[in-house]
Amino acid sequence: MQETKSDFFVDIPDPRVVNRCLHQLSDILFIAFITILCNGEDYEDMVTFGEQREGWLRKHISLANGIPSSDTFRRVLERLSPELLGNIVESDGKSLLEIAGTTHICLDGKKSRGASPHTKGNDGLYILTAWASEHKICLGQRRVDDKSNEIVAIPKLLDKLSLEESTVTIDALGCQKEQLSLVTERQPWQCFR
């Protein structure tokens, strides 16, 4: 990966107080993103990853004041708008994946139960996920509306994905003429009917 991080995470406005920050926002987000890609789960994992890979990270980001603390990761990530962060990660993550190359995209819907499944009216949350099987990471997700199914969410998710030179697989529920045409219009050479 010869790209520099200066191309990534620069469009996010910094929610912190100006001139009171030791670490660049793009450095914090770069470490957080790469940690999650490497199966990290929390702020402590971000610090551990940063400390273990500091030499590699310094080739891509400045780290003028070393690795941020877990409290710094927490404070910064809690202040960012989830929607804005999701959009930036989606666009910048797409660029990172183009560097690595993705050839198989799996679309699948899953229903996850709530934290308190015995609560009245808690039917869980249904999410449609696009999965890059080679890299074992999620390319995008869309919530399936209540009293609906993934057929409605598939076009919204496909519009956000780069399908060039990729094979897209969908389970039987998603194999509707309208959904298949969305894929074949963007890559007719890989259509199996």
d(CA 10, CA 3): 14
* Confidence (pLDDT) at 103: 72
Could you tell me which residues are beta bridge partners of residue 112? Answer: 125
- What single DSSP character describes residue 168? E
* Confidence (pLDDT) at 50: 95
| Burial classification of residue 161, based on how many CB atoms lie within 10 Å of its CB (0-12 exposed, 13-18 middle, 19 or more buried) | buried
* Confidence (pLDDT) at 55: 93
Q: How far is CA 69 from CA 1, 17, 47, 193, in A?
A: 26, 17, 6, 53
* Confidence (pLDDT) at 117: 53
Q: Which residue positions in the chain have pLDDT lower than 70?
A: 1-8, 89-90, 92-102, 113-124, 147, 179, 183, 186-193
* Confidence (pLDDT) at 187: 58
What predicted TM-score, i.e. pTM, was given to this entire model?
0.58
Angle at 16 between CA 15 and CA 20, to 5 degrees: 160
* Confidence (pLDDT) at 101: 65
- What tokens were used for 148? 């609906």
